[in-house]
Structure 1
Amino acid sequence: MNVLVWLAAILFILMVLIGGKKGVRSFVALFLNFGVLLLTIIIMTVPNVNPIILTLIACTLISCINLFYINEVNRKTKTAFISTMITIVILLFFIVIVTEKSMFQGFGEEEIEEISVFSLYIGVDFTKIGASMIIMSAIGSIVDVAISIASSMSEIRNHNPFISRKDLFTSGLGIGRDILGTDTNTLFFAFFGSYLGLLIWFKDLSYSFGEIVNSKVFSAEMINILCAGIGVAIIIPITAWITAYFLVKTRDK
């Protein structure tokens, strides 16, 4: 417990020194996001609750916290929020189809031994839970890309007030292409970092490459990464177009 307190204190001090008031808001936002996730998980276990709708509500709250609470309500955060919501809805329909076709929901055989003493008849739809899990793991990257593009395009418009909508959109796409590679790699290495122990376990169990790739645990995480990467790719043109439209429209008025 002391380690957690010290690490949290160090993080808070660094965020205050570097980010100032926005750093304080960012630190508080961590706990707000955690509260939203915890409340979502608790409600998700209630029978007859639709996890998809609950996930949409949770994503909306998380987006509001990360955009409006940290960066305040302004032109950049409004366009980033609209772009995020459109992307989440598109991605959610796609992910529901993927989860139903791939049937990766539930637990793999590597996890069964640890939970064998518990009852799995908990009255929830694991297909929808799987789709919700992917969306919740992707929302952070999606919001991050949206605000990065919207903020950069706003700065471009401020330095070049008479830029055309087409040129501004093209600039947004160029910014997005630079972000795309780093963000997808971040998702990829986050998986290997969190599942390094599992990969070592595969090695100790003498799993072949084919057995690793076809194991439910590995496949579920790779589907998670690929779907999150698709979400990051989709939001780039959406944010670029919406931001270019609103910035030029505001200038013309």
Structure 2
Amino acid sequence: MNVLVWLAAILFILMILIGGKKGARSFISLFLNFGVIFLTIFFMMDPNVNPIILTLIACTVISCINLFYINGVNSKTKTAFLSSMITIVILILFITIVTDKAMIQGFGEEEIDELSIFSLYVGMDFVKISASMIIMSTIGAITDVAISITSPMREIFNHNPLISRKDLFASGLNIGKDILGSNTNTLFFAFIGGYLALLLWFKDLSYTVGEIVNSKVFSAEVVIILCAGVGIAIVIPIASWINAYFLVRED
């Protein structure tokens, strides 16, 4: 416990020194987001609650925290929020279909021992639960990309107020191209790094490549990575177009 406190203190000090007040708000937002996720899981235990609707509400709150609380309420955060919400709605429809077709809902055979002492009749729709899990895994990346596009586009417009909507939209896309590759790789290494122990376990169990690829646990992680990449790719043109539309008033 002391190690966790020291790590949190070091992170807080560094964020204050580097980010100032915004760094302090960013640190506080970590705990606020954790609280939102905890409440989402708590309410999701109720079989009468639709996990997709609950996830959409949670993503809205998390987006407000990440955008408005940290960066303030202004034109760039408003357009980033709107872009994120549109992307999340599209992604929810897409992920629900993918989760059902890929059959990654529920638990894999690697988890049988842990589940043997629990009742499997939990009364939950695991297709929606899996979709909710993927959405919650991608919301941070989506809001990050959205504000990373709308903020420099705002600076471009401030330095060149006579820029056309088409040129500003093209500038947003060019910014997004640089963000797309780096963020996709960041998500890939974040998820694979978190499941490195699982891959080592597969090796110790003498799993073949085919067994690893067809494992439900492994497939679920790959689906999360790919869906997160899809979300990042979708939010780039949406954020660029919405920001260009609201910034440039053409008659």
TM value normalised by structure 1: 0.98
Given the alignment of the two structures, is residue 17 of structure 1 paired with residue 17 of structure 2, yes or no? yes
Q: Deviations over 1:158-199 (max 9, x none)?
A: 111111111100000000000000111011101111100000
Structure-to-structure mapping, 1:169-248, within 5 angstroms? 169-248=169-248
Please tell me the residue identity of whatever aligns with 1:26.
Answer: S
Q: Deviations over 1:38-76 (max 9, x none)?
A: 000000011211000000000000000000000000000
Q: How many residues align?
A: 251
Please tell me the residue identity of whatever aligns with 1:48.
Answer: N
Which consecutive unaligned segments of at least 5 residues does structure 2 have? none
Identity of aligned residues (%): 76
Given the alignment of the two structures, is residue 26 of structure 1 paired with residue 11 of structure 2, yes or no? no
Structure-to-structure mapping, 1:72-87, within 5 angstroms? 72-87=72-87
RMSD: 0.9
Measured after TM superposition, the shift of residue 114 of structure 1 is 1.7
The separation in 2 between residues aligned to 1:70 and 1:105, in whole angstroms, is 35
The separation in 2 between residues aligned to 1:143 and 1:107, in whole angstroms, is 30
The separation in 1 between residues aligned to 2:89 and 2:165, in whole angstroms, is 26
1:155 corresponds to which residue?
155
2:119 corresponds to which residue?
119
1:70 corresponds to which residue?
70
Measured after TM superposition, the shift of residue 111 of structure 1 is 1.3
Please tell me the residue identity of whatever aligns with 2:248.
Answer: V
Q: Deviations over 1:68-116 (max 9, x none)?
A: 0000000000000000000000111111111111111011111111221
Measured after TM superposition, the shift of residue 119 of structure 1 is 1.2
2:138 corresponds to which residue?
138
1:164 corresponds to which residue?
164
The separation in 1 between residues aligned to 2:68 and 2:95, in whole angstroms, is 27
* Residue aligned with 2:48, SS: coil
1:89 corresponds to which residue?
89
The separation in 1 between residues aligned to 2:234 and 2:179, in whole angstroms, is 12
Measured after TM superposition, the shift of residue 120 of structure 1 is 1.7
The separation in 2 between residues aligned to 1:116 and 1:157, in whole angstroms, is 60
Given the alignment of the two structures, is residue 104 of structure 1 paired with residue 104 of structure 2, yes or no? yes
Which consecutive unaligned segments of at least 5 residues does structure 1 have? none
The separation in 2 between residues aligned to 1:73 and 1:215, in whole angstroms, is 45
The separation in 1 between residues aligned to 2:70 and 2:236, in whole angstroms, is 21
Please tell me the residue identity of whatever aligns with 1:79.
Answer: T
